């Protein structure tokens, strides 16, 4: 989209300066904005960057995001946004976004585009093979056990663990709650215990 | 956050220490500044004169890694000057509890607590326990005079932290130190409230947990917990890191902070017995006593009808860790480097830049047989095999990079730092062939399950018994798409049978089979309810026969005027906006501070449900029952078995009181508090890639990583945005005018920053924001490097690489969060 850096600076703070000079450009800006988003559909969202949770209005036209701005109704940000939130449109509409599943074979020197079905079948196969090969039903561990005379001694015992130590997972604080729930459900069903994400670092 | 963003406006004093809200949570400053407009004071304590410092009434510098010394000095000051809130301390904390007379602290044992095992690097905590009476209740001395009571032990511990000693350790000028103590200490009055804002500046240390505990002790002494405008507020870094933690995407917890089962907890009864606290304290709510209800409801959500009483609700299908096993971040990459893992998922995360010691992480990735990277953009993790110093032909890892939808291309909820779960809507279709993450999970769920059904394999039970009922199915039985609302409802939970309250006669119907559960007090331990995450029970409810998504609400009422906005989206737990809010009232249920009545007990008003007099007004009250001073009264800290807050905290690895230890890498030969230089309970990694260097002439400068407003985390979601990249195009190293002069460096010059683990290019930024510290009569320089950059983008390499190439491979003794905020480096000409 054709917003110059100068326009952007206005959006993210320049307007405050103008107002402090006692010049009111609001009618002109409102007119310009009206042209821009006249036919756009608006939805609300919450900023995907930091955790303040600012409300954002997303304007879309012909299936493409054309404008974002702070949600004036949102009680936390009251319509304001920081540099990152104001730039959300560039995260959504971006030529460098991945558009196809990519694959790199062992020893390969370049990515190649692949079909979803092929990639997902292959990943499912790798998950199953790694899991089957490594699945641990029993683990031995030293535990303290109370003796009849009341003392405790350390004994080695076998315990059911039903897990795989051959697959690890990290992520993600960038997912929605419902996705986080599904993800922990999925990877734990496969028997993973090496599960971590951004909160640890 | 115990409180929430808007609540910052209610504070009298705001301490920003361990965080830089002006840069990293810019909109939070709206509420800090609004407090200031009403006369509040902002204090900023930071190694650097940060953007928050620029807006502060009082700024005090400190050397990275010395927060406990600084805060310990504040505790000493509060006690010495009698600034603490006596009623609060006596009734709502364990200050009066008597500790085992065998207990010894660092004042007696030169930096150690009693029970240290040098070989195991841990403590036998037996001597840290409270003395109990014949009924199992802790012995107390409400006069706080007994030499073994917590209050006296606290005094003895912190009297060593004199202002002069603290100033010599932290490098904070003595006058600034005392000014901070005086101002923050002023909030010990019932009608004055102080709050604290921290972020990674406190967690990313080998003493991270104890940094925060030191502040909780201060907040308890001053009576600031549970108050509007008070609390301890972790300013979390990612939009949904609160939610992803609540949902148990960590090795040690399941959703809702239920511990991951370990091998010795052989069945559900044993799990419940070991993990469910009991109490003899009649006034304690002991909320975790409900654990069996939450875990049974979770298992029912996972396994549906196949989870029965007879099979322990499928408990054995959950994977178990070994007793004492640590499967945390640093361990994953340590084990990966040793070749333990075949496969690895990096889902919505870029570990090649985000974790400490990136060279080790990147080397570890080369040992994998396969890796799946799900992201919006290509990144340093997905493309590790073509990164700096890699020879792709020698790397045998099969790598998949799967494109996912952005936050405006799908719908669902995220939870902000203030625990508000807020619903987001889909604005447009995902770009190209990218898919919402839930759809990718759906595909993998069915594909793996089908293989097990067709071919069999190792223990298919947990896979084939997992429920996945989120919408319409195709002919093969596969979900066409995931209905996110169905997931949200499963998380909230259902009544699986008609459920009755059997405590009353005749039994009263609580919920009808098939209905959404209203809130978590209705959950059951006998398999008659389900809930994927009890903390979020009440987020999607049945109201007047209609299913209501509470997280999508947009009501703007603010009846208390405190900015609670109880009808805007939804806050866990049960829409409570400030947790531990019962601590904001006295024993009669009346607000300590009548100007800010968060909660108030109305003794004459009739309760709509019971018809009896006595109603709490204001926020959703923490726990039930009457005011603490009444016969049915409850104590305020409902998650603690004894109902009160812990000034003495015997649960942590390194001791019941925070003690100052130096960072693993530091500029000092000696810790001037004791002969224990570093935290005696941290895990020391032994590989050559884990090397650490203290007082080594090769790495003379203290360094800390930090963030800038224009970028976010590893930069994956901001380096690709041209507006942001233009404003912050590349890695820099910020240094004082004095250091630049010493090194003969000028603004804009490209240099190398080096540590014992790696080096990174950076542009010199000479600034007044750093000043040399005077530490124990020597000069110590500190520098700072942002961690937003990586080699993969911009593709010409002009952004340089990640600051985490420098950071050390060591974690906090309790959490294993890496120490990225205090380590040693050199800066040299490129």
Cβ distance A170 to B351 less than 8 Å, yes or no, reads yes
Cβ distance A199 to B348 less than 8 Å, yes or no, reads no
Query: Residue A13: pLDDT above 80?
Result: no
Rounded to a whole number of angstroms, the distance from the CA of B689 to the nearest CA of chain A is: 19
**Residue range B83-119, pLDDT digits in tens:** 999 999 999 999 999 999 999 999 999 999 999 999 9
In a domain, B123, yes or no: yes
Which of B:350-369 have CB within 8 Å of A? 351, 354-356, 369
Residues A121 and A142 in one domain: no
A82 touches chain B (CB under 8 A): yes
Provide the residue range defining the domain that includes B296: 256-319+490-551
Residues B169 and B211 in one domain: yes
Contacts of A199 in chain B (CB under 8 A): 241, 244-245, 249-250
Which of B77, B65, B153, B141 lies closest to B113, judged by CA? B153
In a domain, B623, yes or no: no
Most B CBs within 10 A among A5, A76, A90, hence the mutation to make, goes to: A76
Residues B114 and B200 in one domain: yes
For residue B41, what are the β-bridge partners?
B13
Q: Return the exposure string of B274-312: e unless at least 16 CB atoms fall within 10 Å of the residue's CB, then b.
A: eebeebebebbbbbbebbbbbbbbbbbbbbbebbeeebb
Query: Residue A19: pLDDT above 80?
Result: no
A182 touches chain B (CB under 8 A): yes
Residues B96 and B35 in one domain: yes
Residues 6+ apart with CB under 8 A from A26: none
Residues A52 and A73 in one domain: yes
Which of B:44-73 have CB within 8 Å of A? none
Residues A85 and A129 in one domain: no
CATH number at residue B812: 2.40.40.20
Most B CBs within 10 A among A181, A188, A192, hence the mutation to make, goes to: A181
Which of these three, A92, A116, A150, is where a domain ends? A92
In a domain, B614, yes or no: no
- Would you state the torsion angle of the CA atoms of residues B575, B580, B584, B585, taken in this order, to the nearest 10 degrees? 90
Which of B727, B705, B703, B713 lies closest to B788, judged by CA? B713
In a domain, B387, yes or no: yes
Q: Measured between alpha carbons, how far is residue B654 from residues B160, B218, B411 in Å?
A: 18, 19, 43
pLDDT reported for residue B608: 87
> B271: number of CA atoms within 13 Å, CB side?
26
How many degrees, rounded to 5, is the angle at CA B425 between CA A11 and CA B573? 105
Cβ distance A171 to B317 less than 8 Å, yes or no, reads no
What is the C-alpha separation between B461 and B446, in angstroms, rounded? 14
Cβ distance B444 to A123 less than 8 Å, yes or no, reads yes
pLDDT-flagged residues of chain B (< 50): none
Contacts of A66 in chain B (CB under 8 A): none
Residues B201 and B98 in one domain: yes
Which of B6, B35, B30, B24 lies closest to B15, judged by CA? B35
Count of CB pairs separated by less than 8 Å, A with B: 490
Cβ distance B412 to A49 less than 8 Å, yes or no, reads no
Residues A84 and A107 in one domain: no
Rounded to a whole number of angstroms, the distance from the CA of B485 to the nearest CA of chain A is: 9
pLDDT reported for residue A3: 42
Residues B447 and B348 in one domain: yes
Cβ distance A166 to B322 less than 8 Å, yes or no, reads no
For residue B168, what are the β-bridge partners?
none
Query: Residue A12: pLDDT above 60?
Result: no
Residues A107 and A155 in one domain: no
B300 touches chain A (CB under 8 A): no
User: Residues A88, A94, A96, A101: is their CA dihedral positive or negative?
Assistant: positive
Residues B85 and B225 in one domain: yes
> B192: number of CA atoms within 13 Å, CB side?
18
Residues A120 and A150 in one domain: no
Cβ distance B536 to A177 less than 8 Å, yes or no, reads yes
Residues 6+ apart with CB under 8 A from B697: none
Rounded to a whole number of angstroms, the distance from the CA of B205 to the nearest CA of chain A is: 11
Which of these three, A37, A72, A92, is where a domain ends? A92
Residues B399 and B273 in one domain: no
What are the backbone dihedrals phi and psi of residue B791, each rounded to the nearest 5 degrees, phi first?
-70, -25
Cβ distance A78 to B793 less than 8 Å, yes or no, reads no
Q: How many domains does chain A have?
A: 3
Residues A12 and A39 in one domain: yes
Residues B362 and B405 in one domain: yes
Which of these three, A114, A134, A154, is where a domain ends? A134
In a domain, B648, yes or no: no
Residues B44 and B167 in one domain: yes
Cβ distance B264 to A143 less than 8 Å, yes or no, reads yes
Question: Nearest residue of A to residue B329 by CA position?
Answer: A196
Residues 6+ apart with CB under 8 A from B543: none
In a domain, B650, yes or no: no
User: Residues B156, B158, B159, B161: is their CA dihedral positive or negative?
Assistant: positive
CATH number at residue B411: 3.40.50.740
Residues 6+ apart with CB under 8 A from B462: A162, A188, A189, A190, A191, B314, B317, B318, B319
Summarize the confidence of residues A64-71 as an average pLDDT: 96
Residues 6+ apart with CB under 8 A from B187: B12, B13, B193, B194, B222, B224, B230
Cβ distance A126 to B245 less than 8 Å, yes or no, reads no
Cβ distance B414 to A177 less than 8 Å, yes or no, reads yes
How many degrees, rounded to 5, is the angle at CA B216 between CA B215 and CA B222? 90
pLDDT reported for residue B631: 87
Cβ distance B437 to A175 less than 8 Å, yes or no, reads yes
What are the backbone dihedrals phi and psi of residue B246, each rounded to the nearest 5 degrees, phi first?
-55, -30
Helices (H) and strands (E) in chain B, counts: 22, 31
Cβ distance B458 to A177 less than 8 Å, yes or no, reads no
Contacts of B460 in chain A (CB under 8 A): none
Residues A170 and A195 in one domain: yes
Residues B545 and B453 in one domain: no
Which of B:672-711 have CB within 8 Å of A? 709-711
Which of B546, B536, B542 lies closest to B569, judged by CA? B536
In a domain, B733, yes or no: yes
Rounded to a whole number of angstroms, the distance from the CA of A72 to the nearest CA of chain B is: 12
Residues A17 and A87 in one domain: yes
B250 vs A81, A104, A197: nearest CB? A197
> Is residue B812 within 8 Å of residue B326, measured between CB atoms?
no
Provide the residue range defining the domain that includes A22: 5-92
Residues B104 and B225 in one domain: yes
Which of these three, B500, B527, B551, is where a domain ends? B551
Residues B340 and B313 in one domain: no
A80 touches chain B (CB under 8 A): yes
pLDDT reported for residue B632: 86
CATH number at residue B79: 3.40.228.10
What is the C-alpha separation between B288 and B281, in angstroms, rounded? 14
pLDDT reported for residue B610: 83
A20 touches chain B (CB under 8 A): no
Contacts of A81 in chain B (CB under 8 A): 27
Answer left, alpha or beta for residue A187, where phi above 0 means left and psi between -120 and 50 means alpha. alpha
> Is residue B472 within 8 Å of residue B480, measured between CB atoms?
yes
pLDDT reported for residue A1: 39
Tell me the two tokens of residue A195.
């599960």
- The complex's ipTM works out to 0.98
Q: How many domains does chain B have?
A: 4
CATH number at residue A41: 3.30.200.210
Q: Measured between alpha carbons, how far is residue B341 from residues A166, A190, B337, B355, B368 in Å?
A: 4, 15, 9, 18, 6
In a domain, B655, yes or no: no
Residues A81 and A123 in one domain: no
pLDDT reported for residue A34: 67
pLDDT reported for residue A142: 82
B532 vs A83, A94, A181: nearest CB? A181
Helical ranges in B11-66 per DSSP H: 21-24, 28-37, 51-54
pLDDT reported for residue A28: 65
Residues A36 and A76 in one domain: yes
Residues A40 and A13 in one domain: yes
What is the C-alpha separation between B809 and B804, in angstroms, rounded? 10
């Amino acid at each position: 989209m054709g917003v110059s850096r100068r326009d952007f600076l206005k959006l993210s703070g320049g307007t405050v300066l103008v107002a402090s000079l006692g010049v009111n450009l609001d009618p002109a800006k409102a007119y310009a904005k009206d042209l821009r988003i006249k036919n756009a559909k608006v939805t609300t969202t919450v900023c995907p960057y930091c955790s303040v949770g600012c409300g954002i209005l997303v304007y879309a036209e012909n299936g493409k995001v054309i404008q974002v701005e702070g949600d004036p109704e949102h009680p936390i940000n009251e319509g304001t946004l920081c540099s990152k939130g104001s730039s959300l449109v560039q995260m959504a509409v971006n030529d460098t976004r991945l558009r196809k599943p990519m694959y790199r074979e062992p020893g390969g020197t370049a990515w190649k585009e692949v079909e979803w079905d092929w990639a997902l079948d292959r990943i499912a196969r790798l998950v199953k093979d790694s899991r089957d090969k490594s699945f641990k039903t029993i683990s031995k561990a030293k535990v303290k056990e109370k003796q009849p005379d009341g003392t405790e001694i350390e004994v080695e015992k076998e315990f059911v663990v039903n897990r795989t130590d051959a697959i690890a997972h990290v992520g993600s604080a960038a997912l929605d709650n419902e996705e986080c729930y599904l993800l922990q459900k999925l990877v734990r069903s496969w028997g993973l215990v090496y599960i971590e994400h951004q909160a640890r670092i | 956050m115990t409180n929430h963003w808007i609540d910052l406006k209610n504070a009298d004093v705001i301490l920003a220490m361990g965080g830089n809200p002006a840069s990293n949570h810019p909109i939070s400053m709206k509420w800090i500044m609004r407090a200031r407009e009403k006369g509040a004071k902002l204090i900023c304590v930071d190694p650097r004169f940060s953007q928050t410092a620029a807006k502060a009434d009082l700024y005090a510098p400190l050397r990275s890694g010395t927060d406990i010394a600084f805060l310990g000095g504040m505790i000493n000051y509060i006690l010495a000057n009698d600034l603490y809130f006596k009623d609060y301390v006596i009734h709502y904390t364990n200050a009066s509890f008597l500790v085992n007379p065998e207990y010894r602290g660092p004042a007696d044992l030169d930096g150690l607590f009693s029970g240290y095992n040098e070989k195991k690097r841990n403590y036998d905590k037996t001597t840290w326990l409270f003395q109990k009476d014949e009924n199992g209740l802790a012995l107390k001395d409400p006069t706080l005079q007994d030499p073994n009571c917590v209050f006296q032990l606290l005094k003895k511990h912190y009297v060593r932290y004199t202002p002069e000693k603290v100033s010599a350790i932290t490098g904070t000028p003595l006058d600034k130190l005392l000014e901070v103590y005086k101002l923050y200490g002023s909030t010990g009055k019932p009608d004055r409230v102080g709050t604290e804002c921290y972020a990674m500046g406190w967690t990313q240390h080998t003493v991270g947990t104890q940094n925060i505990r030191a502040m909780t002790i201060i907040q308890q002494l001053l009576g600031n917990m549970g108050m509007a405008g008070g609390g301890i507020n972790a300013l979390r870094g990612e939009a949904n890191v609160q939610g992803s933690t609540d949902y148990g995407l960590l090795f040690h917890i399941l959703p809702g902070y239920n511990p991951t089962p370990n091998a010795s907890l052989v069945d559900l009864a044993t799990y419940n017995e070991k993990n469910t606290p009991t109490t003899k304290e009649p006034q304690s709510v002991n909320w975790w006593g409900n654990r069996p209800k939450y875990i049974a409801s979770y298992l029912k959500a996972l396994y549906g009808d196949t989870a029965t009483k007879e099979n322990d609700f499928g408990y054995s299908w959950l994977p178990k860790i070994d007793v004492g096993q640590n499967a945390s971040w640093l361990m994953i990459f340590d084990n990966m480097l040793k070749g333990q893992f075949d496969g690895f998922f990096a889902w919505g995360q870029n570990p090649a830049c985000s974790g400490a010691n990136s060279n080790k992480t990147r080397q570890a990735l080369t040992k994998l047989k396969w890796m799946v990277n799900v992201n919006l953009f290509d990144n340093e993790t997905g493309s590790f095999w073509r990164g700096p110093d890699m020879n792709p032909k020698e790397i045998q890892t099969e790598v998949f990079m799967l494109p996912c939808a952005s936050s405006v291309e799908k719908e669902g909820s995220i939870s902000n730092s203030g625990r508000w779960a807020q619903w987001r809507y889909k604005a447009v279709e995902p770009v190209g062939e990218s898919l919402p993450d839930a759809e990718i999970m759906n595909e993998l769920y069915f594909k793996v399950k089908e293989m097990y059904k067709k071919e069999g394999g190792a223990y298919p039970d947990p896979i084939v018994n997992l429920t996945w009922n989120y919408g319409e199915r195709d002919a093969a039985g596969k979900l066409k798409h995931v209905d996110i609302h169905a997931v949200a409802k499963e998380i909230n939970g259902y009544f699986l049978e008609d459920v009755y309250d059997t405590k009353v006669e005749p039994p009263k119907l609580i919920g009808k089979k098939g209905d959404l559960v209203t809130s978590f007090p209705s959950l059951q331990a006998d398999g008659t309810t389900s809930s994927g995450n009890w903390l979020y029970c009440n987020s999607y409810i049945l109201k007047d026969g209609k299913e209501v998504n509470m997280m999508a609400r947009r009501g703007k009422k603010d009846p208390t005027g405190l900015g609670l906005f109880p009808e805007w989206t939804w806050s866990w737990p049960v829409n409570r906006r400030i947790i531990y809010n019962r601590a904001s009232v006295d024993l009669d249920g009346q607000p300590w501070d009548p100007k800010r009545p968060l909660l108030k007990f109305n003794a004459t008003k009739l309760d709509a449900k019971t018809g009896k007099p006595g109603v709490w007004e204001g926020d959703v009250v923490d726990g039930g029952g009457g005011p603490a001073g009444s016969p049915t009264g409850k104590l305020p800290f409902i998650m603690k078995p004894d109902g009160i807050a812990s000034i003495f905290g015997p649960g942590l690895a390194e001791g019941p009181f925070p003690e100052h230890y130096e960072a693993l890498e530091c500029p000092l030969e000696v810790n001037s508090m004791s002969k224990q230089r570093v935290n005696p309970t941290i895990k020391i990694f032994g590989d050559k890639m884990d090397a650490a260097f203290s007082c080594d002439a090769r790495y003379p400068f203290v360094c800390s990583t930090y963030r800038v407003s224009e970028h976010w985390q590893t930069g994956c979601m901001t380096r690709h945005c041209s507006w942001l990249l233009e404003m912050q195009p590349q890695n820099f190293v910020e240094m004082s005018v004095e250091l630049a002069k010493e090194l003969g460096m000028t603004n804009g010059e490209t240099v190398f920053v080096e540590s014992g683990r790696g080096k990174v290019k950076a542009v010199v930024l000479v600034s007044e924001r750093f000043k040399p510290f005077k530490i124990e009569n020597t000069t110590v320089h500190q520098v700072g490097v942002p961690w937003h950059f990586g080699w993969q983008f911009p593709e010409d390499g002009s952004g340089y690489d990640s600051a985490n190439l420098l950071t050390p491979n060591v974690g906090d003794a309790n959490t294993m969060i890496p120490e990225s905020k205090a380590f040693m480096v050199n800066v040299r000409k490129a």
